[in-house]
Structure 1
């Protein structure tokens, strides 16, 4: 599979894989490429790769949560590229309203540049992980504790221990923006919305709390724009 994707790398080097998800549904498309044959081949190989992911997992329950219940094999592979390749970039966030003006949910976007090269690399990484997992090893029990604890076997540790609590950082930065740039009469409301979001991260209520914050900050959204990609990344897929 890796070789098949690599064969398309040159034709799709300037292309990107676009994503749209959220209330309006999940959509993927290869954009910024005029080579229709290369696009068609990439989509066909992606379906094969997605089918192989499911076969290797045994069934849906063996897949990571984000890859389960995909509507088709191609979407399963695109989700893997989004969640596991490390090359997915968040785009803008939009919001839908019903005819009566009520909230109809959010829309998130993003993209992956040079999708054929990224797909080939992901194939290699998954293959390596599978081979390592199948290598028999003797019993080994290790107990560790603390944040970012490392274990080194038969090697020296020359690394620097850096711990980044990304979720905490996002909300701390939001509070800093409110303190420095938000109108005085809105600071309390913004801080309350931010706290509600922070407390609901990882819960079904997060999307609603996120929408509440965005709507509340709509007239001043420019000051929060630098943090929207990181914030929208916390939305459930």
Structure 2
């Protein structure tokens, strides 16, 4: 697991997008916000080559690129044991892409029309080790993942647990959930553990996917 970036040092990222004007715009925007661009890439293989030579805190990559796209590059990184957080950008609010990105090991998924402050916040949160997955239509999730009756939750969920699941689906951290629901952070951690146990899943992302499929949320 990669070390968390020094909070006093600027966040360093790799920037991948096949459109030079988009890269230039993102570079100008992010550098004004104090983020350092270690290198740019215009396709997935160039991204992999750059990461072999540069250590970064976060990879910011377009999903749709010619040749090797952002998700395939991510899959190759994870297959090679590379754990640097990856934030994927897309112009499409496409649930199928969210599923592919999540399965490949992405920490974040953000639409390109996000506000500048939201983009910087997403990079900062992903660099801290958080997951940021914007809520999308759940229909594709249910169509893709079918669970049998024996895989249903072991117990019914309380209203508070459902509320926490919905916040997990929005990519909120335990601290943010605690602040939102006026709970102690330790209490939220206990709720999350109970939710994972009820859904028989080992991580938050799988719990959210299964909860959507089973119409818990």
TM score, norm. by length of structure 2: 0.30
Provide the TM-score with structure 1 as the length reference: 0.29
- Structure label with greater radius of gyration: 1
